[in-house]
Chains A and B, each alone.
Chain A
Amino acid sequence: MTTTTSPAKTSAPAIGSQVRDYFERVRGGDLGALPAVIGLVVLCVVFASLSPSFLSPINFANLFTQGAGVTIIAMGLVFVLLLGEIDLSAGFASGVCAAVMAVLLTNEGWPWYTAVLASMVTGVLIGLVLGALVAKLGIPSFVVTLAAFLAFQGVALILLDEGTNVSIRDETILAIANSNLSPLLGWVLLVAGVLLYAGIQLTQARRRTSRGLMADSMAVIAVRVGALAVIAGFAVYVLNLERSRNPAIISLTGVPIVVPVILVLLIVWTFVLRRTAYGRHVYAVGGNAEAARRAGINVDRIRISAFVICSFMASIGGIVAASRANSVDPNTGGSTVLLFAVGAAVIGGTSLFGGKGRVLDALLGGAVVAVVINGMGLMGYSASVKYIVTGAVLLLSAGVDALSRKRASSSGRR
C-alpha cells in the first residue's frame, strides 16, 4: 500500500511480481487451492510408494469414476457454501433423484432422456422447497436440510418399494460411468480445450492491453496454458493406455465419459460464478448480505437459487452414481456421500463461512477424497479405518479454513 501509481494505465506486471503477489496472499491467510494441491501430491506419492497398483492405468481410470458422483454434488454445494449456508440433504437428494430416474426407466419403461429430465426436475423442486424454507421462513439451513436428510431417506424407501434394488439396464445411462471415449476423441478434445483456453486468455489480455488496463503478461499466460496442457495431456495419455486385464478378449482404453461431463459442468458453473452478474451477486450475498440488499440485490432469490443449483447438481451426481452402480437402492447417496462432498469442497479451498470458493475447488477436493478412499482401499484397510481417516481429513480441512480466516482477519484481509 505504499506505491501510489494511478490505478489505470499500468503496464503488464512481470511474472516475478505475480509470483510475489501470490506468496503475499498465501502468507496473509488466503491459501486458496494450495492445501488441496499439496495434499494431492503428497497422497499420490505415499500411496504410489506403498502400493504398486496405485499407479496402474486401470486404477487411474477408477479414480475418476469413483470420485465423479461426490465431485458433482460438491460442485453444487459450493453455491450453498458460498452463501455461508449448508445443505446436509444433498446426498440423499441425489439418492431420491436417482430413484426417480431408475423407477421411471426400469419399472415404467420411460426413455432415458425423459427419465433424466424428470430426475433433474425433481432436484430443482427439492432445491426450491429447501431454499424457500431457508430464505422466506428464515429457518437455519442446518435444520431445514437435516430434516430433509431424514425425510429423503423415507422418500427413497417409498419410491423403491420399501427397499428393493432397482437395476438399470438402459445403455445410455450405463455408459456415463462405464464407457470411455475413443482414444482419438480424447486427444481431439484435449487439443480443442487447450486451444480454447489459450485463445480466451490471449484475447482477454489483448483487449485489456488495448484499453490501457493491466493485463496478464505473455509469460504468465504461457505458464498457465503450458501447465494445463502438460497435466491434462498426461491424464489423457494414461487413460488411453490399455487397462484391460485381458486385452485379447476385451480392450479397455480411453477417457471415461464422466470426465467430459464433469469438465462441462465445471466450465458452465465457473462461467456463471465469475462472468455473470448473478455469480457476482452470489459472492456479494455470501460476503455481506446486508450490503447486497442495500445494493438492490434480491437476497432471497439468490439464496433460493443456490439451493436449487445444489439440488440440481445432486440429481446429476445421483444419476452418475446410479450409472456406476448399475442400480439404485435406498442407500444410494447415503452413508458417506454427503460428508465426502462437503469435504471435497472445503478441502479444495471453499470456506464454510461463506463468500469464498470456486467450482474448481470441488474438483480438486474431490480428487483428494477419491485418492484417499481409493488408496486406502488398495492397501486393504477396513471401512472403520477409512471412516476415521476421512473424518480426520474433513476436520483438518475445516481447521485450515478456520485458521486461515483467523489469519486473514489479523492481517487485515477480511
Chain B
Amino acid sequence: MSQAPVLELRGIDKSFGPVQVLHDVAFSVYPGEVTALVGDNGAGKSTLVKCIGGIHPMDSGEYFFEGEKVHVNGPRDAAAMGVEIVYQDLALCDNLDIVQNMFLGRERKSGLVLDEDTMEEMAAKTLAGLSVRTVKSLRQHVSSLSGGQRQTVAIAKAVLWNSKVVILDEPTAALGVAQTAQVLELVRRLADNGLAVVLISHNMNDVFAVSDRIAALYLGRMAAQVKTSEVTHSQIVELITAGRSGELGLPTGNGASA
C-alpha cells in the first residue's frame, strides 16, 4: 500500500481556552482503507474529528486534501471537498424524517421549491446500496427509529454525497451485538468501495476486525499510526494507556505536562 493519503494533517494544535486538547497531531487517511482512531476517553479523538470537519477551527497546523493544502473554515467547506462525518452525538433532527435529515443543509430544489421526489429517490437508492432494508418508511420521523437505525441513517447521510472520506465517531458505542456487526460490515463495505474511512472505537475486537491502520491518540498527542497487521492487541492497549509500547509511541518523559 504505497498509496498517497487522501487526507493528511500535520502539526495540529487545538485549545479550548486554557486547556490544550491537541498537541502537534499528525494524521493520515488512505483511500480504500479503514483507519481506526483509538485513544482513552478525553484523548481528543472527537476534537480532532471536529477540526477535520470544520466544526472547530484549528489553532495551528496544516490540512492537506488530495495533496493540496486547504483551509477548512466551516462544515460546508469540509462537505464540499467530500469529507463527511458521523458525529458521536448524532447530528440528526428528531423532528424531521429520514429523507429530510439526509439532505439537511443540502436540499435538492427545483427553482424555489424543494424537490422532495428526487431527494426521496436518492435516499432510497443510497439506503438500498448500503443493503439497508429495515426502515418501514423513508418518511417516518427519526425520533421513531431505534439506535441502530439512527446510526444507519447518519451513515447513509454521509455516503449520499459521493464523499471521499467518511469519519465515524464511535458509531457502535450505543448498539447491541447484532447491530454492531451490521454497522461494522457497512464500514468495511464503504472502504472496499474505495472510500477512506476513519473509525473511532473503544472496542479492540472491532478495531482489529475491520481496520487496515490504527492511529492511537494519547493525551492529545499522536502516539503512533501503524498498520493493523503489524501490531498486537496488547501493543495498542499499551499505546492507548501509556502512550508508548516498546519502540512504538511517544518518547519517554513526554507527558501531558509539556
Contact = CB atoms under 8 A, between A and B. Distances in A.
A297 B104 CA distance: 8
Nearest to A357: B95
Contact of A413 (B113, B114, B139, B144): B144
A7 B94 contact: no
A9 to B, nearest CB: 8
Given A286-B95, A296-B76, A1 B109 contact: no
Nearest to B133: A4
A296 B96 contact: no
A211 interface: yes
A280 B106 contact: no
A288 B92 CA distance: 7
B107 A292 contact: no
Contacts, number: 115
A291 interface: yes
A3 to B, nearest CB: 6
A276 interface: yes
Interface stretch (B59-67, B117-125, B189-197, B216-224): B117-125
Interface string A345-380: 000000000011000000000000000000000000
A211 B117 contact: yes
A335 interface: no
Interface in B97-142: 100, 104-107, 109, 112-114, 117, 120-121, 123-125, 127-128, 133-139, 141
A207 interface: yes
Given A8-B121, A283-B93, A287-B95, A214 B100 contact: no
Contacts of A5: 133, 136
A214 to B, nearest CB: 7
A295 B91 contact: yes
A414 B95 CA distance: 7
A301 interface: no
Nearest to A353: B95
B25 interface: no
Contacts of B144: 1, 28, 412-413
B137 A214 contact: yes
A355 B94 contact: yes
A413 B143 CA distance: 5
A280 B100 contact: yes
Nearest to B78: A296
B20 interface: no
A284 B104 contact: yes
A1 B150 CA distance: 13
Interface string A35-72: 00000000000000000000000000000000000000
Contacts of B113: 275-276
Interface of B: 53, 55, 74-76, 79, 85, 87, 89-96, 100, 104-107, 109, 112-114, 117, 120-121, 123-125, 127-128, 133-139, 141, 143-144, 146, 149
Kindly list the 9 A-B residue pairs having the minimum CB-CB distance in the complex, ordered from nearest.
A295-B105, A287-B95, A287-B93, A8-B124, A355-B95, A296-B76, A291-B91, A295-B104, A296-B105
